[in-house]
Structure 1
Amino acid sequence: MNQTIRYIAIGAVVAALAAAAWVWQQDDSVCTAGGVPATCVPEQIILYGNVDVRQVNLGFKVSGRVDQLQVEEGDRVMPGQKLATLEKPDFVDDVALAQARFDASAAALNQLENGARPQEIAQAEALVEERRATVQNARRTVKRRAELAEEGFTAHQAHEDAEAALLEAEARLQSAIETLNLVKAGPRDEEIERARAAHGADAAALSLAQRRLADTDLFAPNEGTILTRVREPGAIIQAGEPILNLSLKSPVWVRTYVEEPQLGFVTPGMKATVQTDSGGTFEGQVGFISPVAEFTPKTVETRELRTRLVYRVRVIVDSDDDGLRQGMPVTVVLVPKGAVAGAAAD
């Protein structure tokens, strides 16, 4: 009887020691590596999250009337694919008007930069010679009438009229000479700069009109699926008003949250395995860890339903065969660097 009691006591002691050892092994802060206590690095970190819902509202940069929509809801589109167009006549006319103004200012600028033509210089020189001859003739007339007035053969008024005509002829000659000098000197630098600035403004207006015409075509910015046709052909829309809703296919992002005690084991770039409830497995990597702590969102599923600080983590999936849908709940498995074999997974 005493021997039986002794065996029971020994068994109880052994069980207690085993339980204590098990609890010690489950401690998050201490593990045994090679018989030496060390910081516990879990073999795996299991997180729960959802595939990010990433959508783009597509619209035109200009206002107008919708002409065509080339896609239907549910269509898969590729980057650069034309999705919709606006009516173009008004935009084509704007380009034609801007082109005409551009050509006119270009011609005016070229005229100033090239200066006067040889024919224009020759014309100005001929005018100077003509008026110089007029001056010489006026001088002879003044001299002749002065002699006649002294001899009494003509009135002094005629002599005075001849002198006035001479002064006028000399002034017209000086004007012609100045005009010739201006023609030879060419336009002022300020005039050329003003014409160049006007031409630059017309060039900018033409470029803007051409861009507005190009903006009447709407292209897909990324690969994805058309979720909604917000407007239909014939509708008059404003600039930026959504007409299509596009669900982006790539890159695929998974939003999950890591608890503060596990934060030190998660680093950007570490490999991640994304698992779906239907058995799909996808490889990826941690792309972003939020620097700001927040409380556990209600949509996050954790094994401990209590309020704890968590940090948002973005996992970028390397490839996808349409097995991941936006908003789908997934499980993310991370393997920290330096994990101790046999350590408990958190």
Structure 2
Amino acid sequence: MKSLRGLLIVLIVIFAAAGGGYYYWQSQQSELPDYIASGNGRIEAEEIRVATKYAGRVDAVLVDEGDRVTAGQILAQMDTAELLASKAKATAEVARAQQGIAEAKAEIVQRQSELSFSQQQLTRAKELVKNNNISREQLDQRQANRDAARAGLSASRAHLTSAERGVEAAQAELRRIQVQIDDSVLRAPRDGRVQYRLAEPGEVLAGGGPVVTIIDLTDVYMNVFLPTRQAGLAFVGNEARIVLDAAPNFVIPAKVTFVADDAQFTPREVETREERDKLMFRVTVRIDRELLAEHIKRVKTGLPGETYIMLGDTHTWPENLHVNVPDAPNATDTNANASQGTPE
């Protein structure tokens, strides 16, 4: 009998707590002015997949999950043994092509000398043939020698041009290989935190295979869904507030940066107003980058929370939604700066 009485007492306490919680939630909802919309969401950050550009074997991964990285920092290294061999071959090709230029230039000097000599012989022959000291046939022969020397010089000059183009092609191939070698070093495109380490040394990846995923902790946002009437009054640039479940005492300022053009989760065509009111539109609010930079060590993704969005023209925020950021001086703002969406 006593155990039954104890069980009843426990059940009464549970129902009372649940009822009190529900009443509190309802009271909070009713306290919101009609110009403020709210929705649930999770903290998200811009995610970047750092992948290999070319197929190859992973030689080293230099970061672990959770590491902070800076833009330009080396994250991983692909194996470059084959590329280095190709580079050595391309370097030799460049040297050989440059040698071809030297040979072509020497050939031009030789052809110029031959042309000069044959031109002198032709000039003398023209004087000698006037006095019948040589035959007309000899004059024609020297004329042909001069023409052949001139053609040889033109061919040598063309050979030089071809050799120069060969050097350019060899150098381009060398640069291409060097670009592949440079791309084998995977660097962080921006500051962030390593979210996932997706490959390990020794793994062979196809081109575009991801190695590391990092998140940009200065590009944090939350997506919420609003019904038609509220979404119609939510504009890019409107002020917003984020309250996380893990830190309900803090109110984080944000701004609307995106309002979807298309409705979500409902048929594209509806006939009645009741159905149209069920349409939900995705709205994205982002936290200021400077504020995130000040609290970079505290930023965590995946945390659930509530977003409050100012609809239409600017209005005064309720007292419970004044900006209140952890460890910030003068954390609680006034109505004036609350309407501007910035902490004091």
Query: 2:28: which partner in 1?
Result: none
Matching residue within 47, 52, 65 for 2:57: 65
Structure 2: distance between partners of 1:281 and 1:51: 14
Q: CA RMSD in A?
A: 4.2
Matching residue within 235, 242, 245 for 2:203: 235
Matching residue within 44, 57, 70 for 1:52: 44
Query: 1:275: which partner in 2?
Result: 243
Query: 2:151: which partner in 1?
Result: 182
1:292 aligns with 2:262: yes
Query: 2:75: which partner in 1?
Result: 83
**Alpha carbons 1:272, 1:334 under 8 Å: kept:** yes
Report the AA paired with residue 335 of structure 1.
M
CA gap 1:185/1:232 in 2 versus in 1, 3 angstroms: closer
Structure 2: distance between partners of 1:333 and 1:258: 11
Matching residue within 210, 214, 218 for 1:250: 218
Structure 2: distance between partners of 1:115 and 1:338: 83
**Alpha carbons 2:245, 2:303 under 8 Å: kept:** no
**Alpha carbons 2:246, 2:303 under 8 Å: kept:** no
Report the AA paired with residue 259 of structure 1.
P
Structure 1: distance between partners of 2:316 and 2:97: 78
Report the AA paired with residue 76 of structure 1.
R
Structure 2: distance between partners of 1:96 and 1:340: 69
Structure 2: distance between partners of 1:307 and 1:50: 24
Query: 1:332: which partner in 2?
Result: 307
Please say which of residues 283-292 and 176-185 is displaced more in the overlay. 176-185
| Shift, 1:284, TM fit | 1.6
SS state at 2:59 partner: strand
| Shift, 1:309, TM fit | 0.6
| Bigger CA radius of gyration | 1
TM-score normalised by structure 2 residue count: 0.63
**Alpha carbons 1:295, 1:308 under 8 Å: kept:** no
Structure 1: distance between partners of 2:117 and 2:105: 24
Number of aligned positions between the proteins: 268
Query: 2:280: which partner in 1?
Result: 310
SS state at 2:263 partner: strand
Map of 1:135-174 to 2, 5 A cutoff? 173-174=142-143
Map of 1:13-32 to 2, 5 A cutoff? none
**Alpha carbons 1:273, 1:281 under 8 Å: kept:** yes
1:204 aligns with 2:172: yes
Structure 2: distance between partners of 1:255 and 1:324: 17
CA gap 1:341/1:129 in 2 versus in 1, 3 angstroms: closer
| Shift, 1:202, TM fit | 3.0
| Shift, 1:130, TM fit | 7.5
**Alpha carbons 1:132, 1:173 under 8 Å: kept:** no
CA gap 1:129/1:197 in 2 versus in 1, 3 angstroms: closer
Report the AA paired with residue 289 of structure 1.
V
Percent identity (aligned)? 22
| Shift, 1:287, TM fit | 0.6
SS state at 1:121 partner: helix
**Alpha carbons 2:229, 2:277 under 8 Å: kept:** no
1:18-63 deviations in Å (ceiling 9; x for gaps): xxxxxxxxxxxxxxxxxxxxxxx83422222222364333222123
Structure 2: distance between partners of 1:313 and 1:225: 25
Matching residue within 65, 89, 113 for 1:97: 89
SS state at 2:260 partner: strand
Q: Which segments of 5 or more consecutive residues in structure 2 lack a partner in the other structure?
A: 1-32, 126-133, 267-275, 319-344
CA gap 1:207/1:338 in 2 versus in 1, 3 angstroms: same
Query: 2:11: which partner in 1?
Result: none
**Alpha carbons 2:39, 2:306 under 8 Å: kept:** yes
**Alpha carbons 1:83, 1:220 under 8 Å: kept:** yes
Structure 2: distance between partners of 1:109 and 1:289: 63
| Shift, 1:105, TM fit | 4.0
Report the AA paired with residue 261 of structure 2.
P
CA gap 1:114/1:333 in 2 versus in 1, 3 angstroms: farther
CA gap 1:340/1:130 in 2 versus in 1, 3 angstroms: closer
Structure with greater contact order relative to length (CA < 8 Å, sep ≥ 6): 1
Report the AA paired with residue 284 of structure 2.
R
